[in-house]
Amino acid sequence: MANKQLHKKATQDSLLKDLIKYRWIYILALPGLLYLLVFKYVPMYGVTVAFKDYSSRLGILQSPWVGMKHFMRLFASRDFAILLKNTLFLNVYKIAVMTPLAMVFALCLNAIRNVYTKRIMQTISYFPHFLSWVVISGITFQLFSPYSGTLNQILIKLGMQPMTFLSSPKSFKTMLVVFGAWKELGWASIIYLAALSGINTELYEAAQIDGASKLRKTWHITMPALIPTMVTLLLIDIGRIMSVGFEQVYVYLNPILYEKGDVFATYVYRVGLGQGKFSYTTAVELFNTMIGLVLLVVANKISKRLTEESLW
Amino acid sequence: MKAYKETGAEKAFTILNLTLLSLFSLTILYPFAHVASSALSANDAVLGGMVTFFPVRPTTEALRQLLVHRGYQSAMANTVFITCVGTLMNLFVTAMLAYPLSRKNLRFSKVLNILVLLPMFFSGGMIPTYLVVSTLKLTDTYWAYLLPSLVSPFYCLLLRNFFASIPKELEESAIIDGAGYGRVLLQIIMPLSMAAIATIALFYAVDHWNVFLGGIMYINDRKLWTLQMFLREMISQSEHASELAEGGSAFVSLESLRMAAILVSILPILCVYPFVQKYFVKGVMVGSVKG
């Protein structure tokens, strides 16, 4: 160990010398670093306004400290339980639906023999990923419109009542999950397809000789190869569990749906920027980030023990 | 060999598989066909829900009215400007940052990598970022669209991994021949990384084209609105409260106008995306999740 470090010191220049020798390559990094400093690291320091009473006249640094006041207000507020429930439930719902669906979709794509058919299916299924939620909301409002939408036209022709589930609080979360799956399913399967293409084909040949059926091969060779990818993606999802999807919720939300559909991100936007309660909503966001980080660390620890997969 | 003979069950599976995938594709294709044919159909056919796959009594009236609408014109011009300028800025600054990150022989490379990685796990959030942007007086300027999203740490790491896979000898021989690092990056590294660059260029361009949250956070001035903000207003407007529908001479419903606006906003992505697709699968994989 000590030897190795000594060796390292001998072959590498001292810090200052390195900086001078490679100054031009470091200068290339400057604009990017400046960006990170101003728009990523200063806001990280900016979370301190959660413990202050921010006033735009005094700025982030000069505003007076108030301790945990804003957090207390959040925990005591009636909105808190609703927001926590909606955010967690929506994201768990999403993860529970999307994870198996993306794997199955990748397997289905992979099972297509004809290269052209496969490519066309991929091209089509990746496409919605590139559209904004504003556009998708426009399309869905049109398709599911109670008067002229295709779906309700069919229902009316069949003699049934038109459905209004886009504006119904009951089906709000399911609708978001379904539209989310529709948009991201193809895209989410890319990473699994990559894992599939990395499987050693000799394994299948060996199984073939041993007389394994296609189903058994899928179960004993393909699935175990996908598990590490799935666990990694799951961990990333869990880390983001509190923060996902402002735009998706925002474009479908209206005051009637707040009770069932309002999540932390939309609340922060509405109350923070709309009503100018900067300190309070920063506290809301910080609480969010912290929960996300704790969940990530815990999930990572569990995963390390069970599957030996870890993000770090 | 009997390996290539499909059993009955396997054949059934193949048919089922193709049927399911085709149905799923149809749920994607139908909405777009519907939007396009609604945009091009006669007004009463759209309102009466008669349009499905193909235009009914085709007319370009809705498109024409959209294209002369002031709000639409400025939103489109802003969006095209932001997408072009923004993507170029993104690409250069990201590549310039990714290059030193990919050089493991630099003493500061590890520190730089951590600096880029950290914002992916811990972010200041919407409000602190807004406070920074407004303190810098960037609100209600084009800079508010360009600067806060200048470098995506994730795309930067994708590019770093790609750069790292390029043989070092190429760079070294160029340096010996007297080229500077900026030139090496521009003339050797970047041309060799076209697959990765095309991929993140598409990602950045789509992010700019679809920018919505950045707009509603930082922009009040209608003159600076983007396409998504214009669309959003159109979509959330009810038929009666529409200033749009009243503006035109020939009667065109808001619904037709909406479909025309959606169609026009999808078209550029639809045109570019299939050509870049062959790159991005590779691009995403090289820098796959674990980095």
Listed by number, the residues of chain B in 97-156 with a beta carbon closer than 8 Å to a beta carbon of chain A are 97, 99-101, 103, 105-108, 112, 115-116, 119, 121-136, 147-148, 150-151, 153, 156
Residue A244: per-residue pLDDT: 64
Q: By C-alpha distance, which of B72, B94, B206, B234 is closest to B150?
A: B94
Give tens-digit pLDDT for B78-94. 999 999 999 999 999 99
Q: For residues B134 and B129, what is the distance between their CA atoms, to the nearest angstrom? A: 9
d(CA B162, nearest CA chain A) in Å: 16
Q: Where in chain A is the domain with CATH 1.10.3720.10?
A: 52-306
Alpha carbon A178 to chain centroid distance? 16
Q: For residues B31 and A175, what is the distance between their CA atoms, to the nearest angstrom? A: 16
Give tens-digit pLDDT for B267-290. 999 888 888 887 776 666 554 433
Q: Which residues of A touch B133 (CB under 8 A)?
A: 39
Q: Which residues of B touch A128 (CB under 8 A)?
A: 28
**Which residue ranges of chain A lie beneath pLDDT 70?**
1-13, 244
Q: Is B188 at the interface with chain A, CB within 8 A?
A: no
The partner residue sitting opposite B126, judged by closest CB among A239, A251, A268, is A268
Q: For residues A289 and A43, what is the distance between their CA atoms, to the nearest angstrom? A: 13
Residue A96: per-residue pLDDT: 94
Residue in A with minimal Cα distance to B9: A214
Residue B228 has pLDDT above 60, yes or no: yes
Residue B240 has pLDDT above 60, yes or no: no
Query: How many pairs of residues across A and B have Cβ atoms under 8 Å apart?
Result: 261
Listed by number, the residues of chain B in 241-280 with a beta carbon closer than 8 Å to a beta carbon of chain A are 255, 258-259, 261-262, 265-266, 269-270, 273-274, 277
CB within 8 Å of A218: residues ≥ 6 apart: A107
Q: Which residues of B touch A32 (CB under 8 A)?
A: 93-94, 96-97, 150-151, 156
Residue B23: per-residue pLDDT: 94
pLDDT-based confidence at B242, cuts 50/70/90?
very low
Q: By C-alpha distance, which of B204, B167, B169, B183 is closest to B87?
A: B204
Q: By C-alpha distance, which of A271, A272, A264 is closest to A292?
A: A264
pLDDT-based confidence at B145, cuts 50/70/90?
very high
Residue B286: per-residue pLDDT: 53
pLDDT-based confidence at B11, cuts 50/70/90?
confident
> Which CB contacts under 8 angstroms, 24+ apart, belong to B14-19?
B14/A111, B14/A113, B17/A108, B17/A111, B17/A112, B18/A112, B18/A117
pLDDT-based confidence at B97, cuts 50/70/90?
very high
Q: Is A178 at the interface with chain B, CB within 8 A?
A: no
| Residue A12: both structure tokens together | 């590498």
Give tens-digit pLDDT for A272-301. 999 989 999 999 999 988 988 898 899 889
| Average predicted confidence (pLDDT) for chain B | 85
Name the pTM for this structure. Answer: 0.89
CB within 8 Å of A17: residues ≥ 6 apart: none
**DSSP calls for B139-188:** TTSTHHHHSTTS--HHHHHHHHHHHHTS-HHHHHHHHHTT--HHHHIIII
Q: For residues B216 and B225, what is the distance between their CA atoms, to the nearest angstrom? A: 9
Ramachandran angles phi, psi of A65, nearest 5°:
-75, 140
Ramachandran angles phi, psi of A52, nearest 5°:
-125, 170
The structural architecture, per CATH, of the domain B62-288 is: Orthogonal Bundle (1.10)
B126 close to A270: Cβ distance less than 8 angstroms: no
Residue A1: per-residue pLDDT: 46
Give tens-digit pLDDT for B14-40. 899 999 999 999 999 999 999 999 888
Q: Is A26 at the interface with chain B, CB within 8 A?
A: yes
Question: Residue A182, CB half-sphere, CA atoms under 13 Å: how many?
Answer: 23
In DSSP terms, which residues pair with A65 in a beta bridge? A52
| Residue B39: both structure tokens together | 């945009």
Q: Is A265 at the interface with chain B, CB within 8 A?
A: yes
- The CATH number of A52-306 is 1.10.3720.10
Provide the ipTM.
0.89
Question: Residue A293, CB half-sphere, CA atoms under 13 Å: how many?
Answer: 12
Residue B1: per-residue pLDDT: 41
Based on C-alpha coordinates, what's the Rg of chain B?
24
pLDDT-based confidence at B263, cuts 50/70/90?
very high
* CB pair distance less than 8 Å for B99 and A25: yes
Q: Is A139 at the interface with chain B, CB within 8 A?
A: yes
Handedness of CA B246, B248, B251, B252 (dihedral sign): negative
Based on C-alpha coordinates, what's the Rg of chain A?
25
d(CA B58, nearest CA chain A) in Å: 18
Residue A4: per-residue pLDDT: 53
Q: For residues A85 and B63, what is the distance between their CA atoms, to the nearest angstrom? A: 44
Residue B129 has pLDDT above 90, yes or no: yes
Instruction: Return the residue in B127, B156, B171 with the most chain A beta carbons within 10 A, the one to mutate for interface testing.
Output: B127
Q: Is B99 or A9 the better-scoring residue by pLDDT? A: B99
Neighbours of B246 (CB within 10 A): 8
Residue B288: per-residue pLDDT: 46
Q: Is B222 or A312 the better-scoring residue by pLDDT? A: B222
B1 three-class SS: coil
Q: Is B4 or B10 the better-scoring residue by pLDDT? A: B10
Residue recorded with tokens 């006041």: A69
Residue in B with minimal Cα distance to A239: B121
d(CA B180, nearest CA chain A) in Å: 8
Residue B161: per-residue pLDDT: 87
- Domain ranges in chain B are 1-59, 62-288
Residue B264: per-residue pLDDT: 92
Q: Which residues of A touch B126 (CB under 8 A)?
A: 265, 268-269, 272-273, 281, 285
For residue A12, the 8-state DSSP code is S
A65 three-class SS: strand
